[in-house]
Amino acid sequence: MKSDKTDFIREIINNDLKEGRYKKIHTRFPPEPNGYLHIGHAKAICLNFDIAEEYGGKCNLRFDDTNPTKEELEYVDAIKQDIKWLGYDWEEREYYASDYFEKLYDMAVDLIKKGKAYVCELSPEQIREYRGTLTEPGKESPYRNRPIEENLRLFKEMRDGKYPDGAMVLRAKIDMASPNLNMRDPVMYRIVHTSHHRTGDKWCIYPTYDWAHGQCDSIEGITHSICTLEFQDHRPLYDWFIEQLGIHHPRQIEFARLNLTYTVMSKRRLLELVEGGYVQGWDDPRMPTLSGMRRRGYPPAAIRKFCRNIGVAKTESVVDIELLEHFVREELNKTAERRMAVLNPLKVVIINYPEDKTEELEAINNPEDTSAGIRKIPFSKVIYIEKDDFMENPVPEFYRLAPGREVRLRYAYFIKCVDVIKDKNGDIVELHCAYDPATKGGNAPDGRKVKATLHWVSAKHCTIGEVHLYEHLFIKEDPLDTSGPGDFKDNINPNSLRILKNCRLEPSLSDVKAGTVFQFERLGYFCVDPDTKGNCPVFNRTVSLKDEWEKIKKRKIKE
C-alpha cells in the first residue's frame, strides 16, 4: 500500500516497497520509562502509528528499559495511558528491551567470538580521554587486543556479579580513528548493581541504548526505525552491529524533533521543574506533558491534527505554540457545550423584577452541533455579571454596562443601570438596574439596538466554583535564552497560574464529570479538574476564545 501523503519518510518507505526491500511495514514507538511523555513524543507516536496504519502494517510499543537507575513502573503505566488517550492501540504488541536481555547477551558473546568486542578496564574518565576529539583520533585501549577466551571469561564474570560498578565494560572493536566518534569502540554493556523494575536482581550488567536499539528492532522484525535527528550520527553504528551479526536489517530514518515556543522539551529539564516544586507535578496543566495537556482539557483529536499538520522535516525548527492552541480551539468549538460562568462577580439587583419570581430560560448548548440540544437556566431578581463588564466612567469604545446605559443579558432581557452602590472605601459593590419585560429573549419589539451582550448567572441558583487561569509557563519564546549565571528556570512566568475562588457558575455546572470541557461564554474553554470534590467544582482554563494564531499567520504573510 502506498500512502497518499508526501514527506521524505514516506518517500523512502514507498521506494523500499517498490524495490522489494520489505514486503510489510512494521514500525515501533520506543520510549524510555524515565519520565512522562510530552508533546514532542506525541509527534513521534502519531508518525509511527499513522504510517503503520496507512500502509496496512503494524506498530509496536517497546519500552527501552535498559537503565534501571532512572526507570520506574510509574512511568511505564503513565506512558501506556497517554498513548491510549491519544487514540492509538498497539494491540498485543507490548514489548520491553528487558524481554531480550538474554538474546542481547548471546549476541554480545557472538561478537566477542568474532573478535568484534572486548572487555575494557579503563575508567569512564579514561575512556573519554582515550576517545579523542573531533579533530584528533582516539587511542586504543590497552585491553583492546585481549584473547577472545579471556574476554568471554571476563564478560561472564561481569554477568555473574564478580565485579563492582564501573570496574569494566564491554566495548565494540571498531575504529578508534573514525571521524565519527560513535564508532570509536563504543560501550555495549556496563555493570550496574541496581534492581530492575521488571527483572529484579537477575541482571547486574545492562546494555547501552546504542547496543540494544538496533538489535531489538531486528528481533521484532521492524522495517523502519524512525528516530529524531540527534541519532543521525549513530546510524553507522546501528548498521554496523546488525551487519556484524548478520541479522534482519531495519532501516533507520531520522527526522527533526518538535520544538515549541515558550516550552522546554527536555525530560531532564522537565524533571527539574517537578522535583524543584516549580510546577505541581508531571500533570500540571502548564507542563507540555500529555498528562498535563489532558488535565488542561486539550482534546486528543486536536493534538493528532496538530502533529499531522506540522509534518516531518530533516531540519530543526520552532513551531509557535499558538498553532497548537488554534487546533485546540477548532476542535473544542465543535464539541464543547456552552455554559455561563462569572469569574469576578459583581452583584446586580433588578429593581423592577418581582422579588419571588424565577423564570426558566432556554439556552443553546452548542450552536455548532444542533444535536446537543438546549438547557434551562434560571433567571431571578439578583444576578451576577463580570466586574469588567461595568465601567462607571466609560472610556471610548467601551460598549458594555455603564450608568444610564442599556445592554442585553444573554438569553434574557435588556437591562439599564440606574444606580451604583459603593462601600465606605468607595468601591463598587452593587448595581441597581431596571429590565424591560418586552425584551425577553434578547430582542426589543420596537427595534432598538444595544451594543453589548453580557453573560450572567442567577445569584439564588448559582454554584460556587474555583477557576485556575493558566498562561505560558515561561516569559520568553525561547526559555533557554538566558543571560548571566542563571538558567532556564529564571524565565519562569510568575503569573503562569492565577487561582480565582468564589466564582459564580450556572447551576448545571454543579455536578460535572472530571475531564469534561465547556466553553464559558465570552471567556474561553474550561476543563473540570480531576481533583474536583464535593459541591465546589474546579475548572482549568484550557485556552481563551481569542485565536492568536490567526494574527501570527497574517503577520508572517506580510513579512
In angstroms, the CA 146 to CA 117 distance is 10
pTM of the model: 0.94
Q: What percent of the chain has pLDDT over 90?
A: 94
> Confidence band (pLDDT; 50, 70, 90) for 555?
low
5-9, 14-18, 383-387, 504-508: range with lowest mean pLDDT: 5-9
Q: How many residues does the chain have?
A: 559
Q: Pairing between strand 497-505 and 341-342?
A: antiparallel
- pLDDT number for residue 207: 98
For residue 559, pLDDT over 60 is answered with no
pLDDT tens digits, one per residue of 451-474: 999 999 999 999 999 999 999 999
In words, the CATH class of domain 341-455 is: mainly beta
Would you list the DSSP string of 55-113?
A: TT-EEEEEE----TTT--HHHHHHHHHHHHHHT---TT-EEEGGGGHHHHHHHHHHHHH
Q: How far is CA 489 from CA 241, 304, 461, 486, in A?
A: 40, 29, 44, 8
pLDDT tens digits, one per residue of 18-71: 999 999 999 999 999 999 999 999 999 999 999 999 999 999 999 999 999 999
- pLDDT number for residue 533: 77
Q: How confident is the model over 108-122, as a mean pLDDT?
A: 98
For residue 526, pLDDT over 70 is answered with yes
pLDDT tens digits, one per residue of 171-187: 999 999 999 999 999 99
When the pLDDT of each residue in the chain is averaged and rounded to a whole number, the result is: 95
Structural domain boundaries in the chain: 8-255, 341-455
Contacts of 506 (CB under 8 A, 6+ apart): 339, 340, 341, 377, 457, 458, 461, 462, 463
- pLDDT number for residue 78: 97
Would you list the DSSP string of 266-328?
A: -HHHHHHHHHTTSSSSTT-TTSSBHHHHHHHT--HHHHHHHHHHH---SS---B-HHHHHHHH
Q: How confident is the model over 324-339, as a mean pLDDT?
A: 97
Residue 437, C-alpha cell as written in the block: 419585560
- Other C-beta atoms within 10 Å of 389: how many? 20
Q: Say which residue the cell 531540519 belongs to.
A: 315
Q: How confident is the model over 179-204, as a mean pLDDT?
A: 97
95-99, 167-171, 238-242, 439-443: range with lowest mean pLDDT: 439-443
- Other C-beta atoms within 10 Å of 459: how many? 17
pLDDT tens digits, one per residue of 238-275: 999 999 999 999 999 999 999 999 999 999 999 999 99
SS3 519: strand
Q: Span 8-255: which CATH code? A: 3.40.50.620
**Catalytic sites, residue numbers:** 32, 257, 267
Side chain identity at 364, as an amino acid letter?
Answer: I
Of all helices (H) and strands (E), which one includes residue 214?
A: helix 209-219
Residue 293, C-alpha cell as written in the block: 495537556
Alpha-carbon torsion (475, 275, 209, 61), positive or negative:
negative
